[in-house]
Amino acid sequence: MIRVLSIEMIKKVVMIVRYNVIGYLISEGFRNVLKNKKSTIASFMIMCATMLIFGLFFLVGENVNYMMQSLEKDQGMVAYMKKDVTEEQI
């Protein structure tokens, strides 16, 4: 007896395999985190330090931009002209 597989049956099989692969990868990741505690802690500390340094630089940059914008708003330019000025001189 020959069975003909429809496209829908093949798609269902592919989706089941994908979920199994994702679950396998997540479980292996957690298993390796628990096995290699020193490496995990070192990697976590480096990531935290990197994010802290990036955050500090971002904070300083944003504060400098804010100060420059407020300085531009506060500074005004005043031009004084004499009363007897012609249109060409203006």
What tokens were used for 8? 């829908």
d(CA 32, CA 25) in angstroms, rounded, equals 10
In a domain, 37, yes or no: yes
**Is there a domain that residue 60 lies in?**
yes
Assigned domain for 63 exists: yes
Whether 20 maps to a domain, the answer reads: yes
Residue 56, SS3 per DSSP: helix
pTM of the model: 0.52
Q: What are the tens digits of pLDDT across the range 7-55?
A: 555 555 555 556 678 888 889 999 998 899 999 999 999 999 999 999 9
- Rounded Cα–Cα distance for residues 55 and 45 (Å): 15
Residue 54 placed within a domain: yes
Which residue range forms the structural domain that includes residue 51? Answer: 7-72
Q: What's the Rg (C-alpha) of the chain?
A: 33
> Is 89 inside any structural domain?
no
Would residue 31 count as lying in a domain?
yes
79 φ/ψ sector (left φ>0, alpha ψ -120 to 50, else beta): beta
Q: How many domains, in total, are found in the chain?
A: 1
pLDDT tens-place string over residues 45-81: 999 999 999 999 999 999 999 999 998 888 877 778 8
